[in-house]
Amino acid sequence: MTPTPFHVDGTDKGTVMLYALSTCIHCKQTRNLLDELHIAYDYLYVDQLSREEMDEIMSEMEKYNPNGSFPTLVINSKKVIIGSRLDEIREALK
């Protein structure tokens, strides 16, 4: 079964999906920025999933980021921002 991402309420900027790790400081910085900007988004901590769920989510995420690195932010299934590039995220969600 596909794991359900956690949802954070805020301003609607379309579908904003963050693939993250619970232990990763760059993922944390990215979440902090989204929270600070009050953007509505969904996130998954991939490290907290079962192995089957991990495989499923990783193949989904690798469509956007073939390297499979974190954080990977996908905006409206189009714009992909890899790493905590905060200025780029700000710009994309203006």
Partner 1 sequence: MPDDNSSEKIKKRFKELNQDAKKNGYYLNPDESFTMGLVEGLLKNAERYGYESCPCRLSFGEKKHDLDIICPCDYRDDDISEYGACFCGLYLSKTNVEKKITAPVIPDRRPSLKDRLTEKNNSSISNNLSYPVYRCKVCGYLCARNNPPDKCPICKADRERFEIFIR
Residues binding partner 1 (CB under 8 A): 21-28, 46-47, 51, 54, 58, 62, 66-70, 82-85
Question: How far is it, in rounded angstroms, from Cα 80 to Cα 76?
Answer: 9
SS3 30: helix
Residue 12 or 66 having the CB closest to partner 1: 66
Please, which residue, 16 or 72, has the CB nearer to partner 1? 72
Closer residue to partner 1, CB minimum distance, 11 or 32: 32
CB 3, CB 53: distance < 8 Å: yes
| Shortest Å, Cβ 87 to partner 1 | 10
The residue among 4 and 67 lying less far from partner 1, judged by its C-beta, is: 67
Minimum CB separation from partner 1 for residue 84, in Å?
Answer: 6
Q: Closest approach of Cβ 85 to partner 1, in Å?
A: 5
CB contact at 8 A, 71 and 18: yes
| Residue with token string 């579908």 | 15
Beta-carbon count within 10 A of 93 CB:
19
